[in-house]
A and B are shown apart, each in its own frame.
Chain A
Amino acid sequence: MASTAEGAQDGVRRRDWIHIAAISTAGVGGASVLFPLVSQMAPTKDVLAASTTDVDVSSIEPGQSIKATFRDQPLFVKRLTPEEIAEAQADDSADMRDPETLLDRLGEGNADVLVTLGVCTHLGCVPLGAGEGEDKGEFDGYFCPCHGSHYDIAGRIRKGPAPTNLAVPEFEFASETVIRVG
């Protein structure tokens, strides 16, 4: 009686095309339902919109750092003193895991404002050194207490497990006093 279920031994019979078509169409439908289900987990529109941050740097004195928030993560903005610039430039040719010059990190048209993410490239802790009186590590920059990564004045990794320098996000001067990060 189950005439359609039987007879499969002669392979795909001609009248089976309609079943195959129906099942594969249903499969396409089921698969496309996955698209919204997956994409709903991606960042929401308000999170994406907050992915640029304006920071007023006019009030940062040389030698001082501020912590801002960028994409829900800490952002270190530091105005370097001439001495610090000299020291960092002197190290430009030192042996480093992730060689970069200070100028590379400052970007064009930017004399002294160093912008880095305050996220250790090892496992994501916030390094010390941006706040007043915090441990700056062996290279006078930043020190991550979680696993002992030492960064220098320009935020370059010099010692410890972190693989790369503190990330420099894309940014530009929106005006004389405001940088737009992201």
Chain B
Amino acid sequence: MSFAWANQYEPKNDFTKWIDEKLPLPRLVYSAIGAGYPVPRNLNYMWNFGVLAGFFLVFQIITGVVLAMHYAANTEVAFGQIEHIMRDVNYGWLMKYGHANGASFFFMVIYLHIFRGFFYSSYKAPREMIWLLGVVIFLLMMATAFMGYVLPWGQMSFWGAKVITGLFGAIPFIGEPLQVWLVGGYAPNDSTLNRFFSLHFLLPFVILGVVILHIWALHIPGSSNPSGVEVKKESDTVPFHPYYTAKDGWFLGLILTFFAAIVFFGPNLLGHPDNWVEANPLSTPALIVPEWYFYPFYAILRAFTGDLTIPFTGIVLIEAKLLGVIAMFASILVWFFLPWLDKSPVRSGSYRPLFRVFFWIFVVCMAGLFYLGGAKPEEPFIVLSQIFTAYYFLHFLVILPIVSQIEIPKPMPFSITEAVLGKDDDAGSPPTPPAAGKHDSDAPDGALQPAE
């Protein structure tokens, strides 16, 4: 950690001294998530979700390893093995429901974590790498969750696998052979189930690795904070432990209470009844939907119902199927460009009146896409998903760049200390404001911003 005033690890006895010399792991932990990591003192509860996401990742790995001890990746028996886990394995029902709903809570927490990033511009310099790694984690999570949903080999598992692998069939020329290669056959079969099981077991550990990089990258500039002003001095920070361990700790308890309520009293609320029917390659369920956390992207996929043609000629440029696939992947890939699309030097949405309006419109748009992804593919839902999809891309590709150009930010506090206490004795000489609306600096620093 870069702050000069960070507490240093001091081994207390001969044994810890010996360890510290040979392998300074306690030192690493101390500086990463202990008293040696100075964190802005003004973090609000939106900053709790990173730790929670880490908790759910570990929770998923533990319950997943346990479930793998009782599962068999074979289409003949997979569905029955789940019943074996539910009925015969000691506390198997707890592991199964915990794992299935754990995935839901993992995504819930991650979405809040991401939207925290959207509002407070956590993606801006100097934190671009943290953001990019986060998007990678999200993509890996989606892949892992999708393959995990196939493992119970219920109707939704099978048809979800078929539909999603079918996406790759849309790619021109190589699509169909690629799809056959991916599933190892013409439709999801034993080979598919086995490779998905293998990858579903592997990917969480890859995620864990990227999470470590994510945290490493975080510790170079240090945590962002709700004011968007960078840390200037010691009074701006508190040590992570005990201040934020205590805060994360009690908040984890709160979230776990909700989690327990779902696992024990409504474990199937977030699932789909059709997945309690064994996979049947000869009969499609009335409505194929993925798990709720994929709904927005599924809505974007389904929004494309017609081929892209040159008007009045009938020449097809891109088929509808491919368009949907491109749009779905693009909707996440666009996040990779976010640090360069939104160049406003002000980070926090609290000081960006215009951005804030569009941020909330975007939240409504995402909520709409969440709803539409689970709706039946009929009017008016199709036309609504088209409009919402259009707005989704409009937000990232047009609105954000323009807003970041024309917006006049509100006055910002001199420092985090001032943001918290309302005054800062060091703020004697406020910096002279540069001309409004022109921010050519490539490294935004809220402290240098105009105080209009």
Does B91 contact A45, Cβ atoms closer than 8 Å? Answer: no
B331 nearest CB across to chain A (Å): 37
- Measured between beta carbons, the chain B residues less than 8 angstroms from A44 are 70, 84, 88-90, 92
B-side residues, CB < 8 A to A, are 7, 35, 62, 66, 69-70, 84, 87-92, 94-95, 234-235, 238-239, 241-243, 246, 249-250, 253
Q: Is A4 an interface residue (CB 8 A)?
A: yes
Does A37 contact B88, Cβ atoms closer than 8 Å? Answer: no
- Measured between beta carbons, the chain B residues less than 8 angstroms from A37 are 62, 66
Q: Is A36 an interface residue (CB 8 A)?
A: yes
For B242, give its contact among A5, A40, A47 (CB under 8 Å). Answer: A5
Does A41 contact B69, Cβ atoms closer than 8 Å? Answer: yes
Looking across the interface, which residue of chain B has its beta carbon closest to that of A42? B90
B294 nearest CB across to chain A (Å): 29
Chain A residues 26-49 with CB under 8 Å of chain B are 26, 36-37, 39-42, 44-47
- Measured between beta carbons, the chain A residues less than 8 angstroms from B89 are 40, 44-45
A1, A42, A47, most chain B CB atoms within 10 A: A1
Q: Is A22 an interface residue (CB 8 A)?
A: yes
Q: Is A2 an interface residue (CB 8 A)?
A: yes
With A5-B35, A22-B249 as known contacts, state yes or no: A40 contacts B90, CB within 8 Å: yes
User: With A and B bound together, what is the CA distance between A123 and B94 in angstroms?
Assistant: 37
Does A2 contact B234, Cβ atoms closer than 8 Å? Answer: no
Total inter-chain residue pairs, C-beta < 8 Å: 51
B297 nearest CB across to chain A (Å): 33
Does A2 contact B91, Cβ atoms closer than 8 Å? Answer: no
Give 8 new A-B contacts, CB below 8 A, not counting A40-B70, A44-B92. A1-B235, A2-B238, A2-B239, A5-B35, A22-B249, A46-B84, A46-B88, A47-B88
With A2-B35, A4-B242, A44-B84 as known contacts, state yes or no: A36 contacts B234, CB within 8 Å: no
Looking across the interface, which residue of chain A has its beta carbon closest to that of B91? A36
User: With A and B bound together, what is the CA distance between A4 and B243 in angstroms?
Assistant: 9
Q: List 25 A-B contacts (CB under 8 A).
A: A1-B238, A2-B7, A2-B35, A2-B242, A4-B242, A5-B241, A19-B242, A22-B250, A26-B253, A36-B91, A36-B94, A36-B95, A37-B62, A39-B91, A40-B66, A40-B69, A40-B70, A40-B90, A40-B95, A42-B90, A44-B92, A45-B87, A45-B88, A45-B89, A46-B88
- Measured between beta carbons, the chain B residues less than 8 angstroms from A46 are 84, 88
User: With A and B bound together, what is the CA distance between A26 and B89 in angstroms?
Assistant: 27
- Measured between beta carbons, the chain A residues less than 8 angstroms from B70 are 40, 44
A-side residues, CB < 8 A to B, are 1-2, 4-5, 19, 22, 26, 36-37, 39-42, 44-47
With A22-B249, A44-B84 as known contacts, state yes or no: A39 contacts B66, CB within 8 Å: no
A19, A22, A36, A47, most chain B CB atoms within 10 A: A36
- Measured between beta carbons, the chain A residues less than 8 angstroms from B241 are 5
- Measured between beta carbons, the chain A residues less than 8 angstroms from B253 are 26
The 3 closest A-B CB pairs, nearest first, are A36-B91, A44-B88, A45-B88
User: With A and B bound together, what is the CA distance between A22 and B251 in angstroms?
Assistant: 13
A6 nearest CB across to chain B (Å): 11
Looking across the interface, which residue of chain B has its beta carbon closest to that of A49? B88
B70 nearest CB across to chain A (Å): 8
For B90, give its contact among A19, A26, A36 (CB under 8 Å). Answer: A36
- Measured between beta carbons, the chain A residues less than 8 angstroms from B66 are 37, 40
User: With A and B bound together, what is the CA distance between A47 and B92 in angstroms?
Assistant: 14
A70 nearest CB across to chain B (Å): 19
- Measured between beta carbons, the chain A residues less than 8 angstroms from B243 are 2
Looking across the interface, which residue of chain B has its beta carbon closest to that of A47? B88
- Measured between beta carbons, the chain A residues less than 8 angstroms from B91 are 36, 39-40
User: With A and B bound together, what is the CA distance between A36 and B95 in angstroms?
Assistant: 9
B247 nearest CB across to chain A (Å): 12
User: With A and B bound together, what is the CA distance between A26 and B251 in angstroms?
Assistant: 13
User: With A and B bound together, what is the CA distance between A170 and B242 in angstroms?
Assistant: 59
Looking across the interface, which residue of chain B has its beta carbon closest to that of A23? B249
User: With A and B bound together, what is the CA distance between A26 and B249 in angstroms?
Assistant: 9
B330 nearest CB across to chain A (Å): 41
- Measured between beta carbons, the chain B residues less than 8 angstroms from A4 are 242
- Measured between beta carbons, the chain A residues less than 8 angstroms from B90 are 36, 39-40, 42, 44-45
B278 nearest CB across to chain A (Å): 19
Looking across the interface, which residue of chain A has its beta carbon closest to that of B253? A26
A22, A37, A40, most chain B CB atoms within 10 A: A40
- Measured between beta carbons, the chain B residues less than 8 angstroms from A36 are 90-91, 94-95
- Measured between beta carbons, the chain B residues less than 8 angstroms from A19 are 242, 246
User: With A and B bound together, what is the CA distance between A87 and B202 in angstroms?
Assistant: 62
Does B234 contact A1, Cβ atoms closer than 8 Å? Answer: yes
A14 nearest CB across to chain B (Å): 17
